[in-house]
Each structure stands twice: as structure tokens, then as C-alpha cells.
Amino acid sequence: MLLEPWVERHAAGLDDAELSSFERFLDSSDMDLYAWFTGRGRPDDGVLAAWVDRILGASRATR
């Protein structure tokens, strides 16, 4: 519900480094992604945490 609309709106504008780190983010387990997006957990990795913040921020902005 969060990732598909975000990808449709923003993925084309990612540079190579962002795309690489986003792919690493997507390699996270479904359980981790669920916990991060529901606020039940937070990635220890700062790069992954930044992706959570970026995606959630964009989601809040479009509501």
C-alpha cells in the first residue's frame, strides 16, 4: 500500500546510488518492512531508516 504508489511517483528520479540503496532496502524481510512501516520497529541501519522516513513522509504528504 505504501511502496507501490511511492515507486510509481518517485523511482524514475532516483540516481544510481539511491537506486542501489533502495534495492538493498527492498531486500529486507517482509516482517521487517511491516514493523518499520507500522512503527513497531526501526532499522538499525541509517540508510534503511532514511528510506522508511522518506517513504512515510511522502505518504503523509499525499493524504
* pLDDT at residue 32 tops 80: yes
Residue 7: which pLDDT band, with cuts at 50, 70 and 90?
Answer: very high
Whether residue 2 is contained in a domain is answered as no
Closest to 18 in 3D by CA, of 41, 50, 43: 50
Whether residue 10 is contained in a domain is answered as no
Whether residue 32 is contained in a domain is answered as yes
* Separation CA 12–CA 5 (nearest Å): 12
Number of structural domains (the chain) is 1
Whether residue 9 is contained in a domain is answered as no
State the average pLDDT for the chain: 93
* pLDDT at residue 1 tops 80: no
**Domain coverage including residue 33:** 15-61
